[in-house]
Amino acid sequence: MADHDSQVAATKSCLGAKAPAELKAAKLSKTASTAGKTKKSPRRQSAIGPAPTQPAQFVVRFLDNNGKVAIKRVADDFGMSKGQFAETVGLHPEALYKASRTSAPKTQNRVREMLEIVSRVSGWAGGKDQAMAWYRAEPIPAFGGRTAESIVKTGQAGALRDYLDVLATGGFA
């Protein structure tokens, strides 16, 4: 149990996530503090378009009560079978069909990486479905024409996240 709690804490701290109750409380306090204000500050935009969806908020949508990514919920949300989803994240289909394997660290990390990357580009792509299409099919010149999907499958999601961060801050591809 302690290992699970530390994994959830590490994920939330890495992604800057808050527990659902904390998110609700933060939203309520923000609403209360801005109740009398009528002027909104303009939304900050990068050189390539609107700021992407916050990865933490996107990933938290798919966490179950134990802090694990609910694989079926993710697959259903993207309109894929578990087998198709396994292929998308570079796992053997059995990793998503066997309950004991869905909570394995490798499975959870791979799915979180995919969700994080899709969430980073969803604002630029026009939504999560378009972001998934980009993730699966768009070649990235900086990575030798490989797709985000192939980059994540080979365990280089960190480099891809860094690249997307550079683009988000106005860097060049």
Measured CA distances, 83 to 86, 93, 95, 98, 150 (Å):
5, 5, 9, 12, 17
Phi, psi (deg, nearest 5) at residue 75? -60, -45
- 16 secondary structure, DSSP code: T
| Tens of pLDDT, residues 3-15 | 444 444 444 444 4
pLDDT one-digit tens code per residue, 49-100: 444 445 567 888 888 888 899 999 999 999 999 999 999 999 998 888 888 8
CB 128 within 8 A of CB 118: yes
Whether the pLDDT of residue 138 is over 90: the answer is yes
Confidence of residue 170 (pLDDT cuts 50, 70, 90): confident
Is the pLDDT at 153 greater than 50? The verdict is yes
- Confirm whether pTM is higher than 0.85: no
Reported as a single tens digit per residue, the pLDDT across 12-50 is 444 444 444 443 444 444 444 444 444 443 444 433 444
Summary mean pLDDT of the chain: 75
